[in-house]
Every structure is written in C-alpha cells, then in structure tokens.
Homo-oligomer: A and B are copies of this chain.
Amino acid sequence: MSPAPRTARATARAELTRAILDSAATQLADIGPAALSVRAVARDLEMASSAVYRYFPSRDALLTALIVEAYDDLGAAVEAVERAVRRGDLRGRWRAIAHGIRDWARAHPHQYALTHGSPVPGYAAPADTVVPATRVTLALLTVLRDAQAAGRTPAAGPARVSAAEKAALGPVLAFVDPPLSPAFAVRGLTAWATLFGHVSLELFGHMHRGVLDYDTHFATVVDQLGADLGLG
C-alpha cells in the first residue's frame, strides 16, 4: 500500500499485475472460479506460468484479488443507482439498491457466485475482503437510518424486540450514525437476507425455471419488503 516508486520496474510490475487481473477476470466470467487456471492466464499473457507466481503467491491469492474486485464492482454499481434517486425518496432508494443487487448479480453470475456463493473449498475469505463487502450493506443500512430519522417505523412485525435479541444485534446497530433502533435493525437484516436469498435461489437454479416469472415476482417481493420496512 506504499506509494510505490515510479521506476520503470515498478510501473512494469503494476501494469503486469493489472494485466494478470484482467485476464483472470475474463476467464472468471467465462468459465467460472473453479476452472480458473494460472497456467491459462500465463498462456493468455504469453508468459511463463512460474512468472505469474511472482505477482500472486498462489491461485487463492489471485482469487482473493478477484473477490475484492467483485465486491467493489457490486458496491459501486449499487451505490451508483442508489445515488441517482432523490434523497427523500426512501422507497425509491430501497428499490434501487434491491434491483441494483439483482441486476448486477444477473450480469455477473460468476462474480456473484464468488462473493455470495459457497466459499471456494479449503479457502477462508481473508480480511482484505470484508471491507469492500460492506459497501452494499452500508448503503442499505444508511437508507434505514434515514428512514428512521424521517420518523418512519417498520410497518409490521413483533412490537418489541426481546432483550436477548437486542444483545444479539450488538454492534450492527452502530454501523450507522445515529444508530438503528433494534426493531429497524431486525427488519433490515431480514430484508437483507431475503434479498440475497432470492437472488441466490434464482441464480443457483432453485426456483424452478419457467415456473416463476422472476422479474415480476422479485419486484413484488421488493415492494413488500419496502412496505414492511415502512418505506412506502
């Protein structure tokens, strides 16, 4: 993370690192994470496979870099569509985030599988990935915070949240400032799970193809969740 001197060698290294990532990203989008091969990347760049290991110490490290990029790409996409909505239009912002997630996932199924599918076996997501992974969660929580600040309250649901659950929520409440009320947080986390559950079930082929019109149904669910959250 140091500024890296602008020597010929340093710029060459930076360029090659990017080239490796780009080639890997292309392969990832084409054939999926498990079939990603450092030898194939090396072939694509017309270099020796052993040379790639000078830039990424292992295949997993390369995969990790791709995961970080995917999270960032998703985060940027969601933030972009959400930013385009008038601040006061809480329902619109919620809709933008929800559909933004699904649209991105459908456009980048392999990346979505990498970030939100089963973790690559024998591979534990390193710390580098958690910060970029937070971006869309933060966008969602921010909308909830604004809703709370605007005096909205979750429409339905158990009136009061048990003390145990309040404790269970813990630091989640303080992810935004001012902190979320437990009731809002519970509904918010539920909506979050519903969103990703829906996208996962759709993308991973669990909603029997042809039996359901995803576009329509997802829109219905999103609006329902929005209503549950008291956004409109």
Chain A positions within 8 Å of B, measured between CB atoms, are 31-35, 110, 113-114, 116-122, 124-125, 130, 133, 155-158, 161-162, 164-165, 167-172, 186-187, 189-190, 192-198, 200-201, 204-206, 208, 211-213, 215-217, 220-221, 223-225, 227-228
Contact = CB atoms under 8 A, between A and B. Distances in A.
Contact of A216 (B116, B125, B165): B165
A188 B35 CA distance: 36
Given A34-B120, A110-B121, A117-B204, 10 more contacts: A33-B121, A157-B228, A165-B220, A168-B220, A172-B212, A186-B221, A187-B224, A190-B221, A192-B201, A197-B200
21 contacts: A32-B121, A34-B121, A34-B122, A114-B118, A117-B117, A118-B118, A119-B204, A156-B156, A157-B224, A158-B220, A158-B227, A164-B216, A165-B217, A172-B211, A172-B212, A186-B217, A187-B224, A190-B224, A195-B197, A196-B197, A196-B206
Contacts of A31: 121-122
Closest 8 CB pairs of A and B: A197-B197, A117-B118, A156-B156, A32-B121, A113-B118, A168-B213, A168-B216, A193-B197
A16 B169 CA distance: 50
Nearest to A110: B121
A114 B213 CA distance: 25
A215 B165 CA distance: 10
Nearest to A130: B208
B190 A193 contact: no
Contacts of A224: 157-158, 186-187, 190
Contacts of A194: 190, 193-194, 197
Contacts of A125: 205
Contacts of A171: 211
Contacts of A223: 158
**A162, A211, A220 interface centre (most CB from chain B within 10 Å):** A220
B228 A162 contact: no
A127 to B, nearest CB: 11
A213 B170 contact: yes
Given A156-B227, A156-B228, A169 B217 contact: yes
